[in-house]
A and B are shown apart, each in its own frame.
Chain A
Amino acid sequence: MSLFGGTTSSFGNTSLFGSSATATVNQNPMNDFEVGSPPDDSVSSLAFSPGTLQQTYLVAGSWDNNVRCWEVQQSGQTVPKAQQTHTGPVLDVAWSDDGTKVFTASCDKVAKMWDLGSNQSIPVAQHDAPIRTVHWIKAPNYSCIMTGSWDKTLKFWDTRSPNPMLAIQLPERCYCADVLYPMAVVGTASRGLIIYQLDNQPKEFKKIESPLKYQHRCTRIFTDKKTGGPVGFALGSIEGRVAIHYVNPTNPKDNFTFKCHRSNGPTSGVQDIFAVNDIAFHPQHGTLATVGSDGRFSFWDKDARTKLKTSDPLPQPITCCTFNSTGNIFAYASSYDWSKGHEGFDPQKMKPHIFLRSCFEELKPSSKKS
């Protein structure tokens, strides 16, 4: 029952809930591996170490102001390794390409660089408002981090200098972003959507009309199957809908949207519509996973326009998800996302959980043609 193996996993369940008499709600309906010592408050972001490292590490940023790092072993066991703290909730985490540093962005308006070797964390970026996204950019002629903030700016920082290399004004607060060299996409409030090109130096490439009608929530770049280069992005909104958008579509119909994370309501009545909290693309297959406020994750094949799988609902929303570098593991966090406001939050009952799923087979593209 190796987590990393290619065979389908059996029940490698290390759930804490075992056979507790008081645990009436199954926190792990999908029977996935559970990460031990999870954060104390909602998980805002998850990131696996890059393939350049021998071992696999998972980093999680949380609303409890901490960033935690676990080593994930072949067997599915997780070993807590280290932890760093901000003075505000952590909203995003990112690895450097060589796997030696982790960047963390926080509501305390600072982004930090965490050197895992020395376990030291230093501030490397500063904004006037909470920093919502942080990404590492590795270009042939430069390296930097990109931070997007609610102060409506996108800034690029050489980590050795306290001043940004470049600051770009955004039309609105940054809500989501993704980077896959040489492309970056930023989704802002008021349905703003901008693409940047990063070769030579970051500059705005194009502003795009949003294909969605409601608030942008998450975005992720996908690559061309043949060339491996970025060609478009997926964009999720609060309206249970994801848009697949090619930057240069060969056919305008290549761009489309699909509904997801909606309750199977009666066809005549109105379904419950849940926000799409995160999207992740499988590094090998090119298929995608979405997670939502309904507590489910779904796998999709965007080329065949097919849904591959939807999970059973977890008792809490799923706030974020990610794949490891080889695509063997799908990690997702079950924790409250604030989708029902403060009234929906019961910190005693809603403890965060992070699950790891052996997913390589499940995410294989559909063999059907559309």
Chain B
Amino acid sequence: MVVCKYYQQGNCRFGNNCRFEHPGGRTQGQGYGGGGSRGVTFRDSFGPNQNPYRWIANDRQSAGGGQSKPTKTTISDMTAQEILTLISNDMDEWMKSHMWPFSCYAFLKDTSCLPGFEDTSFEELRFEAYQAKSAGTYEVYQQKVTQLSIESSNKRQELQRPNLQMKQKLIQEIENQKKRIGSGSFGSHNDSTQFTSGIFGPSPIASTQSVFGGKLVSANQTLFGKPQTANSFGSATTSQAPFGSTSTPNVGSSLFGSPNTGSSSFGSTGSGFGAGTAGGAFGSPSAFTGKHVFGSTLSNNPLAQISSGASSAASSVQGQAQSQPQGQAQPQGQGQQSSLYTPLGELTSDERQQFEAQKFTLGTIPTRPPPRELC
């Protein structure tokens, strides 16, 4: 049956005698998807089973079942606080809805994954189990899974109710992403991180290598990081972060801090601090042209080839951006300094100059926070 458009608008003069369908009062006057071109009501055309799922064009968030909230969709539209709320709602929903816990997460589509959440697919976990069964190490496997579940759950709780420190880190991450996106690196930032891991070369997965590698962390709930090189789930490729988020081999999931102290891995990220801006490295966004699927060839796609210099520069900037929270966490491991400030000794001379100057010079603004001394 065709739905009566007047009824949808709220006034059909035929009422019950109308030859068109009046779905159960739902569409009347609610602006349910009719409010703007943004929303598209997804109608269920099976009569008795009127259960419309809303298809929202470019629906990018599900802020706590936000059917009627105006959906902001891009990172540049939203303030950091709004994004924090969004993250909190997402975590809440994730926990309550019994979703698969071992998944990566991004707060908006078109953004990079938040560091700290590693992907493990159903099949990987299952294969792990089957292998453990035949190797006789099934109890070990079970314990690992339990441990990972706990950790995953803790992480989500931390994001759902972030303490001040976590908020700072999140805001930092959000700012980084905004910058990357703002600099016109459409699609590139996500790629460059992933490419970084590619540049390190494929890590052949040893046959006995378990998804969960590394050693189990004690139940220290406050920091997400692991003392080992394995990232939080010790995902199969332990030598590199799935995001390639830090170019150091030591992969603490940087958002959640890494208790791995010792020599300053921060200083050795290999990121080019001289080039403070993220802009130039990523190249122009790919252009859709032509009518065919593939249109004309992309004019400037620096990531088309692995070996292009652009991607390594991109990755180094990426490494810099991502290693920053790690650097913040690291002094914390030493116990004394607050995690928000970059230690004075670690600044490059450029940065120091910038901080000491009256004003920042555009193009060389440091991306790390100033040391306490220079605030």
A: which residues have CB within 8 A of B? 44, 63, 88-89, 91, 107, 128-130, 132, 150-153, 169-173, 175, 182-183, 188-192, 197, 203-215, 217, 229-231, 238-240, 247-249, 252-253, 255-260, 262, 264, 267-273, 275, 305-310, 337-339, 341-342, 366-368, 370
Contact = CB atoms under 8 A, between A and B. Distances in A.
Contacts of A89: 126-127, 130
A258 B55 contact: yes
B82 interface: no
B198 A238 contact: no
Contact of A305 (B42, B191, B202): B42
Nearest to A249: B288
A229 B291 CA distance: 12
B44 A306 contact: yes
In the complex, the 4 A-B pairs of residues with the closest C-beta atoms, listed nearest first? A171-B194, A215-B103, A189-B119, A273-B97
22 contacts: A63-B126, A130-B123, A150-B124, A151-B202, A151-B205, A152-B203, A169-B198, A173-B124, A189-B119, A210-B109, A217-B121, A239-B62, A253-B58, A256-B57, A258-B54, A258-B56, A260-B53, A273-B93, A275-B100, A306-B42, A366-B45, A370-B43
A203 B298 CA distance: 12
B44 A307 contact: yes
B104 interface: yes
Interface stretch (B235-243, B257-265, B367-375): B235-243
Interface string B122-133: 111111011000
Contacts of A203: 304
A214 B99 contact: yes
B78 interface: no
Contact of B103 (A183, A192, A238, A249): A238
A238 B295 contact: no
Contacts of B306: 169
Interface string B78-104: 000000000000101100111110111
Contacts of A210: 106, 109-110, 190
A188 B113 CA distance: 13
A191 B202 contact: no
Q: Which secondary structure dominates where chain A touches chain B?
A: loop
A342 B129 contact: yes
A247 B62 CA distance: 24
Contacts of A153: 202
B42 A307 contact: yes
Contact of A272 (B98, B186, B202): B98
Contacts of B109: 209-213, 257
B14 interface: no
Q: Which secondary structure dominates where chain B touches chain A?
A: loop
Contacts of A262: 97
B293 interface: yes
B51 interface: yes
B153 interface: no
Contacts of B235: 189
A133 to B, nearest CB: 11
B371 to A, nearest CB: 33
A265 B327 CA distance: 43
Given A189-B242, A214-B99, A271-B97, 17 more contacts: A63-B130, A89-B127, A151-B205, A171-B193, A173-B119, A190-B243, A204-B304, A207-B190, A229-B293, A238-B99, A238-B100, A247-B294, A252-B58, A253-B58, A256-B59, A309-B46, A339-B122
B202 to A, nearest CB: 5
A191 B113 contact: yes
B40 A370 contact: yes
B136 interface: no
Given A151-B202, A197-B294, A341 B53 contact: no
Q: How large is the interface on B (under 10, 10 to 19, 20 to 34, 35 or more residues)?
A: 35 or more
B290 interface: yes
Contacts of B51: 264, 307, 310
Contacts of B357: none
Given A63-B130, A206-B286, A307-B53, A151 B123 contact: no
Contacts of B103: 214-215, 238-239
Given A171-B197, A259-B54, A248 B295 contact: yes
B225 to A, nearest CB: 18
Contacts of A337: 122
A275 B61 CA distance: 17
Specify which of A191, A308, A309, A367 lies most central, judged by the most chain B CB atoms within 10 Å of its CB: A191
A89 B131 CA distance: 10
B121 A273 contact: no
B24 interface: no
Contacts of B59: 256-258
A275 B103 CA distance: 11
A205 B121 CA distance: 26
B187 A207 contact: yes
A368 B295 contact: no
A64 to B, nearest CB: 10
A338 B205 contact: no
Specify which of A209, A262, A310 lies most central, judged by the most chain B CB atoms within 10 Å of its CB: A209
Nearest to B191: A207
B275 interface: no
A214 B56 CA distance: 17
A252 B129 CA distance: 43
